[in-house]
Amino acid sequence: MLKNPAAKYRPFPAYDFSERTWPNKRITTPPIWMSTDLRDGNQSLIEPMNAERKMRLFEKLVDIGFKEIEVGFPSASQTDFDFIRKLVDENRIPDDVTVEVLTQSREDLIRRSIESVIGARRVIVHMYNAIAPDFRRIVFNMSKDEVKQIALDGTRLIRELTAQHPETEWVYQYSPEVFSSAELDFAKDVCDAVSAEWGAGPGRKIIFNLPATIECATPNVYADQIEWMHRNLNNREHIVLSVHPHNDRGTAVAAAELGVMAGADRVEGCLFGNGERTGNVDLVTLALNLYSQGVHPGLDFSDIDDVRRCVEYCNQLPVHPRHPYVGDLVFTAFSGSHQDAIKKGFAQRQPDTIWDVPYLPIDPADVGRSYDAVIRVNSQSGKGGVAYLLQQEHGLDLPRRLQIEYSRAIQRVTDETGREVTATDVYAIFRREYLDIAVPYKFVRHRIASTDEGIRVDVDVIYEGQARTLSGNGNGPIDAFVNALDLPIRVMDYHEHSIGIGADASAASYVELRIGESPTGFGVGIDHDIVTASFKAVLSAVNRHMQSTDTADEETADEPVEV
């Protein structure tokens, strides 16, 4: 028995392919996209799609902009066969869309497959057989020549049958299944022979789809394999070279991207990476990766949640919350430093300029996601996120030291509950902490008058349940009101701004006070009248001080300000 269980696996052999050029290439145009959701995706489901689900997904794929769609394995089931016939008979295939059907290289299956698409305007007939050594030995128990003959026999039959239906434009696709584990010279040998058998040439291209049926090496190895085929296949100009990565090692997206850099013209995959085992390559991620590089993929994911809902319904499988570009949490920042950077990014952003908001590779709005969900608050959050929510939802632009002070109140709640607080919670806590605090002083109304010395205010308050009028003089209203309170108050900082516009506008005032030798603390007031807002802010700070709530001891102001 092996002591080290890993010793039972063989490393993938290295290629000596120093002529590779793909590492220096860039992808500047999108590949031809081919969705195999209705075939490779469907064959991997716990419960394969029924006709209604298949039709729904087909229509969604058309809406997204796919021009090549593998619609099924017609010889596999009556459901697949009937669905494909329905597409053809009811004229449901748009003129610019080509459907594709898959078959093994077996006569009865090929005949049934052709039967399923007779009458369609344009069809890709896709045939496969495995060519890798293990499959030759384990599945077929055949020599190389015999396996190559499977490919040639099937190709010849497809050529003969399709020739009987010239009303359809037939395209042939051959997949040397398990290509990525096969000998390259054998893969070329089989493909060249298939190409000759099909009669590929001017006006009669052939698609060679080179699958990583089981992903078994790092993506650079796949890229080498693709570039080698790209350079060595006969009649390359009459070939559409296609990649079909699976995601066994979790690197299918990288493999597809490097494959395109290595010379592939076309990519087969599924939405959100559905497909056998760990899935086919995710076409959404590939497309939006291109988008984030300034290359329009030619596919429309401007309402990505709608696409996800459809795919989840049809596959009866959920999409992970962290799935690239679409997961519920991918445009969300919980952690404080991320929130801070995102908030600053949005604040500095000018319309119609290059996107450079930190931590967000694309603008969530481009995929129909809203900014509201970008920042969420839990125990990992900092002041930036909290401030962002108040700003976005309520137009409150908190001064920096108040952001610090207030985020501690939030932190207390998230630490106590261990849970996320919503934007609604954030505002409720803000109201409780600053706006609704009315003990011992509750503001009622004020009168203000100019005097020879400056300003005189008379402020009616409820103090500990009793009506009182506080009167004072000063340089300005706040100074006069502070004097009226007759407490050892120093005003350390003051900010105000309007919220909204027109008749509904109100004012927000933020005042930072020190009372005696206590640490400074903020009060906030909101009112249609700016003076009332500032008086409420003063009382809010005084009440908070008197209730001995926490005050900011970090970054506290050093010098009083003139008010």
Ligand X SMILES: CC(C)C(=O)C(=O)O
Q: How many residues bind ligand X (CB under 6 A)?
A: 10
3-state secondary structure of 361: coil
DSSP letters spanning 138-183: III---HHHHHHHHHHHHHHHHHHHHT-TTSEEEEEEEEETGGGS-
Q: Which stretch binds ligand X (CB under 6 A): 191-199, 208-216, 328-336, 377-385?
A: 208-216
The verdict on whether residue 244 carries a ligand-binding annotation is: yes
What mask of x and - would describe binding to ligand X in positions 128 to 167, judged by CB under 6 A?
A: x---------------------------------------
Is the Cβ of residue 216 or residue 435 nearer to ligand X in the bound state?
216
Does 289 participate in binding ligand ACO (rule CB under 6 A)?
no
Does 128 participate in binding ligand ACO (rule CB under 6 A)?
yes
Does 82 participate in binding ligand ACO (rule CB under 6 A)?
no
Instruction: Give the residue from 364, 361, 359, 284 showing the smallest Cα distance to 319.
Output: 284
The verdict on whether residue 497 carries a ligand-binding annotation is: no
Looking at residues 190 to 249 of the shown chain, list those that interact with ligand ACO (rule: CB under 6 A): 213
Does 123 participate in binding ligand ACO (rule CB under 6 A)?
no
CA–CA gap between residue 181 and residue 213 (Å, rounded): 9
CA–CA gap between residue 445 and residue 5 (Å, rounded): 80
Residue holding tokens 């996209």?
33
Give yes or no for a contact between 519 and 553, defined as CB atoms under 8 angstroms apart.
yes
209 binds, among Mg ion, ligand ACO, ligand X, none (CB under 5 to 8 A by kind): ligand X
- Distances in whole angstroms, Cα of residue 302 to Cα of each of 30, 63, 294, 329, 360: 17, 11, 15, 18, 16
CA–CA gap between residue 511 and residue 513 (Å, rounded): 6
Does 215 participate in binding Mg ion (rule CB under 5 A)?
no
Does 177 participate in binding Mg ion (rule CB under 5 A)?
no
Does 40 participate in binding Mg ion (rule CB under 5 A)?
yes
Does 334 participate in binding ligand ACO (rule CB under 6 A)?
no
Does 37 participate in binding Mg ion (rule CB under 5 A)?
no
Helices (H) and strands (E) in the chain, counts: 17, 14
- Distances in whole angstroms, Cα of residue 473 to Cα of each of 457, 494, 509: 6, 19, 20
Does 106 participate in binding ligand ACO (rule CB under 6 A)?
yes
Does 179 participate in binding ligand ACO (rule CB under 6 A)?
no
Residue holding tokens 């249609």?
528
76 binds, among ligand X, Mg ion, ligand ACO, none (CB under 5 to 8 A by kind): ligand ACO
Among 27, 32, 45, 139, binds ligand ACO (CB under 6 A): 139
Instruction: Give the residue from 416, 560, 402 showing the smallest Cα distance to 492.
Output: 560
Looking at residues 326 to 345 of the shown chain, list those that interact with Mg ion (rule: CB under 5 A): none
Among 31, 48, 211, 364, binds ligand X (CB under 6 A): 211
Backbone phi and psi for residue 60, each to the nearest 5 degrees, phi listed first:
-65, -40
105 binds, among ligand X, ligand ACO, Mg ion, none (CB under 5 to 8 A by kind): ligand ACO
Backbone phi and psi for residue 559, each to the nearest 5 degrees, phi listed first:
-120, 140
Among 22, 33, 58, 73, binds ligand ACO (CB under 6 A): 73
The verdict on whether residue 296 carries a ligand-binding annotation is: no
Residues 6+ apart with CB under 8 A from 64: 299, 300, 301, 307
CA–CA gap between residue 108 and residue 277 (Å, rounded): 28
Does 177 participate in binding ligand X (rule CB under 6 A)?
yes
Does 244 participate in binding ligand X (rule CB under 6 A)?
yes
**318 secondary structure, DSSP code:** P
Q: Which stretch binds ligand ACO (CB under 6 A): 99-107, 329-337, 520-528, 549-557?
A: 99-107
The verdict on whether residue 338 carries a ligand-binding annotation is: no
Interface positions with ligand ACO (CB under 6 A) = 40, 43, 73, 75-76, 104-106, 109, 128-129, 139-140, 150, 177, 213, 276
Q: Which residues would be at the binding site for Mg ion (CB under 5 A)?
A: 40
Return binding residues for Mg(2+): 40, 244, 246, 280
Residues engaged in binding ligand X (CB under 6 A): 40, 102, 128, 175, 177, 209, 211, 213, 244, 246
